[in-house]
A and B are shown apart, each in its own frame.
Chain A
């Protein structure tokens, strides 16, 4: 019953005017219209009670008790009002900033006319997005299939490859991360598959990243449907493909009749200074997956782009993959706008400037902490910072958080911090970000040293 009071207060405020609304703010300082909370601790308690106790506790224990409230541009605000520059961006979901006004406008306008749409029929926004996608895609990709998230899109890509090759095996790298849905989870680390009894190494063999011999031996029996590759493995901490590695993998795929699936969920959409990172490798993939940023961070959607020679099932049985929300038309509108912004020459130029600027700044900081800040893995605005401690990035993450920056450690290699500044970050915020980063890296080093020291 008490839960209803703030809502009642809000409505009565509308009916009875200001005095009630003052009362409401005492009752529920965090009033969001359709729901409200009295305090941040109420949220955390209820998140544990009703949502995910493990995750909620993990962040409290990590010194990052963040509950994101307001969000705009590249800033997120904790419920306490604390401002953070977001360089996690959920892996690129917020490439264009939080609630990018252009994307908000596009969706808001579209909502006067569109909804999710009917997934069985040809549809206006789906068709328009597909055309825009193909016109800006690496050569050879001709069809678009939609999912509601990256994992589903990866599943679609795998199903498509299996149909096209009539083979079952999918090769990925050790510590790959392609999502947690039915098939995608099989390609990744067993931490996530074994938990749900979904590990299946028979069908999803792993090979070491940057090891061409291992790749060749995995493929040479010609029983592999596809190799799936993040162009730069994100959750593994952005280890960079050795020069020539990916083109060689593509060559091996051709030699052994396997398809090449490029997972551009994190690396796509101008993150590396070209719309699709895979084009910087000179590769025309058979299948390419885009997710995260294509949603504009506002309406979930993911896309699978398929070359004609792999797209047979779309003709043979167009109902082969059904997804009520996949390709929701409002999501398509968000995607068209996001793709348009990402593909602007101005955006490309700014990403080049920003990569150059941030790269130089990081190298300056690195020069001050050579024993601690041991590596910078960078391709455009895909940046991984390596620290000289098995859990190094967690220390830096916490100090960054204290100093107003949100960046996350790499789940599958916590030495490495994922550092992904927004594509449209303004120069003055980039300067501020580097200032904060410098201080935080220094403080994290002091902490690590003091922990090591006494022994």
Chain B
């Protein structure tokens, strides 16, 4: 008979190890926070290149591990979030002090410290890359807690960047990964007071608990993106970009279009253009079948996250042309009881027809009443007035125009900051309303002089408190009577407890159950 120990109140499996990671990160961030800009650039560049080199490999692994998305599209995102982010910020400087001459103020950038980053299963590698790049550019240490569905590939991706960063001079422990994420462990780390900022990309419950943690948090909520096509739009171009965007990575980005709103005057012409671009328009009977499949009993079935239009059509016994990229489901009204007006995370686009642009704006507001406040919306229009009305009426913080929202709002096909983390601001109960970017991960110490004109500020030019690291950080502990290169033995293998495997398995099961409910991009 197998004997088990009586359970004492104890920290759940993995928590002590997680706390040790935070402590290691604390040391790393203390060291990193004193690096100069040249060292930071060398490190960030090295990580970016390493990420790009593995972009395809990890795109494939991500699709394998999670079962969703499109390899080609993930490659694009992985590149955008490694060298893409590098290219955007390579000339920026979040390190060196700057002088505001007239105001007699000197600004000294200060790193946040330890970032605890939660990343989703939908954009696993791209989000990991993105957050690591932003952390490195700002001299922060980062602990990544990947979604359990994608933990394998996320850890590998993070380690590739880590190894490149450390080889380029980054301190040991600057990038760490929670290899066995669990809800108790995530809670413990979120509330650990040594964490300086939480950056949470994921489902609302997780984002809300990040805010409740007592630590500063940047959380971003889900999207539910309305896209308005009004009569001045270039219809073929609009159709092309909506279909491309909606089918991108099988629609698992939170920026993916959710409800298409078309002015009736152009509706028939536009549906033809949509069909040409690869959309399949469902009949009313087919809409019912698809609705029952994707939203059984009115609740989203996460099994369809990131599945292709062809897979969904096949599951519904609907014959569609071979090249079909998205399914378009006409619905009557955007109302709470219409499940198709919710976020769908698969290439299924709801469509309503409206009598005017003004009615379209009302419909878009209705979409956002379901969810997605603070997130993003798209419009296809040549009319500045309508665009202004749309943008100022909707509770979103980015409205992209004449471009697909998936990559438009993510800053990959617009001049918005490229990111996998869309700040939803006050509308979406987040502390950040912009796309996550380096400036959100630093503070500045301001040196301010007496504004009395007779008191002068001395010259601060070329005063730089930061410097390049001397050798590896930390130095290997060689005996103080030795000189030259140390002999470094193979470190002893960490002891693994056979006994905790069962517990771990049990926690894993619970987590997956729980996360099934809240999975979001």
Do the beta carbons of A345 and B491 come within 8 Å of each other? Answer: yes
Contact B477 A379 (CB under 8 A): yes
Residue ID in chain A nearest B173 by CB atoms: A349
In the complex, identify which listed stretch (A61-69, A107-115, A195-203) lies at the interface while the others stay far away: A107-115
**Docked CA distance A427–B194 (Å):** 11
- Known interface pairs A109-B6, A353-B27; A377-B489 also in contact (CB < 8 Å): no
Contact A343/B474 with A112-B5, A349-B173, A379-B480 known, Cβ cut-off 8 Å: no
Closest to B31 in A: A353
A271 to chain B, nearest CB (A): 10
Q: Which residues of B contact A352 (CB under 8 A)?
A: 172, 474-477
Segment of B8-16, B121-129, B246-254, B458-466 engaged in the interface with chain A: B8-16
- Asked, given contacts A112-B8, A113-B3, A280-B487, whether A350 binds B27 with beta carbons under 8 Å apart, the answer is yes
Q: Which residues of A contact B479 (CB under 8 A)?
A: 240-241, 243, 280, 378-379
Pairwise interchain contact B6-A113, C-beta atoms closer than 8 A: yes
Residues facing A in B465-513 (CB within 8 A) are: 474-482, 487-495, 497
Task: Assess whether A242 is interfacial by the CB under 8 Å rule.
Answer: yes
In the complex the two chains form, is B26's CB within 8 Å of A427's CB?
A: yes
A356 touches B475 (CB 8 A): yes
CB pair A355–B477 under 8 Å, yes or no, is: yes
Asked whether A273 lies within 8 Å of B477 as measured between CB atoms, the reply is yes
B491 touches A348 (CB 8 A): yes
Q: Give every chain B residue within 8 A of A136 (Cβ-Cβ).
A: 492-495
Q: How far is the CA of A348 from the CA of B10 in the complex (A)?
A: 24
B212 within 8 A of A: no
Could you give 23 example pairs across A and B, Cβ below 8 Å? A102-B16, A105-B10, A105-B11, A109-B6, A112-B5, A241-B479, A272-B477, A276-B492, A282-B489, A336-B495, A341-B20, A343-B494, A346-B23, A346-B173, A349-B24, A349-B173, A350-B24, A356-B475, A376-B480, A378-B479, A379-B480, A380-B477, A381-B477
Decide: A112 and B173 in contact? CB cutoff 8 A: no
Q: How large is the interface on A (under 10, 10 to 19, 20 to 34, 35 or more residues)?
A: 35 or more
Please name the residue on chain A nearest to B483 by beta carbon. A243
Please give me the residue from chain A that is nearest to B29 by CB atom. A427
Distance from A342 Cβ to chain B, minimum over Cβ atoms (Å): 9
Whether A240 pairs with B480 at a CB distance below 8 angstroms is yes
Are B474 and A355 within 8 A (Cβ)? Answer: yes
Contacts of A137 in B (CB 8 A): 492
Chain B CB within 8 A of A351 CB = yes
Q: Would you call A135 and B489 a contact (CB within 8 A)?
A: no
A109 and B7 form a contact (CB under 8 A): yes
Q: Do B491 and A275 touch (CB < 8 A)?
A: yes
Report whether over half of chain B's contact residues are helix, strand or loop; otherwise say mixed.
loop
Q: Which residues in chain A, 232-273, are within 8 Å of chain B measured between CB atoms?
A: 240-243, 272-273
Tell me whether A344 is interfacial, beta carbon within 8 Å: yes
Closest to A348 in B: B491
- B30 contacts chain A at the CB level, 8 A cutoff: yes
User: Which residues of chain A have C-beta atoms less than 8 A from B26's C-beta?
Assistant: 426-427
Let me know if A243 and B494 touch, CB within 8 A: no
Given contacts A349-B24, A380-B477, contact A343 B8 (CB under 8 A): no
Q: Give complex CA distance A136, B478 in Å.
A: 21
In the complex, residue of chain B having the shortest beta-carbon distance to the beta carbon of A339: B495
CB distance from A235 to the nearest CB of B (A): 18
Report whether B497 and A350 are in contact in the complex, using a CB–CB cutoff of 8 Å: no
- A352–B482 Cα distance when bound, in Å, is 16
Query: When the two chains form their complex, are residues B477 and A356 in contact, meaning their CB atoms are under 8 A apart?
Result: yes
Q: Which of B8, B30, B172 has the most CB of A within 10 A?
A: B8
Residues of chain A contacted by B21 (CB below 8 angstroms)? 346
Q: Does A193 contact B (CB under 8 A)?
A: no
Q: Please give, as numbers and ranges, the residues of chain B lying within 8 Å of A273 by CB-CB distance.
A: 476-477
With both chains docked as a complex, state the minimum distance between the C-beta of A266 and any C-beta of chain B, in angstroms: 15
Q: Least Cβ distance of B193 to chain A in Å?
A: 11
Contact check, B489 vs A279: say whether CB atoms are below 8 A apart.
Answer: yes
CA of A274 to CA of B474 in the docked complex: distance in angstroms?
Answer: 14
B17 at the interface (CB under 8 A from A): yes
Are B495 and A135 in touch, CB under 8 angstroms? yes
Closest CB in chain A relative to B331 CB, distance in Å: 52
A344 interface neighbour in B10, B17, B482, Cβ under 8 Å? B17
**Quick one: which of B1-50 are within 8 Å of A by CB?**
3, 5-8, 10-11, 16-17, 20-21, 23-24, 26-28, 30-31
Q: Tell me the complex Cα distance, A132–B10, Å.
A: 22
Q: CB distance A344 to B492 under 8 Å?
A: no
Q: Are A426 and B23 in contact, with the CB atoms below 8 A?
A: yes
A308 interfacial contact with B, CB 8 Å: no
- List CB contacts (< 8 Å) of A325-354 with chain B: 336, 339-341, 343-354
Chain A residues in 8 Å Cβ range of B489: 274, 279-280, 282
Which residues from chain A contact B488 at a C-beta distance below 8 Å?
280
Min CB gap A382→B, angstroms = 9
B24: which A residues are within 8 A, CB to CB? 346, 349-350, 353
Contact of B475 with A243 in the complex, beta carbons under 8 Å: no
A416 to chain B, nearest CB (A): 13
**A148 to B341 Cα, complex, angstroms:** 70
Residue of A nearest to B487 (CB): A282
Q: Which residues of A contact B482 (CB under 8 A)?
A: 243
Name the A residues within 8 Å of B492 (CB-CB): 136-137, 274-276, 279, 343
Tell whether A349 pairs with B480 under 8 Å between CB atoms, given A105-B10, A112-B8, A343-B495: no
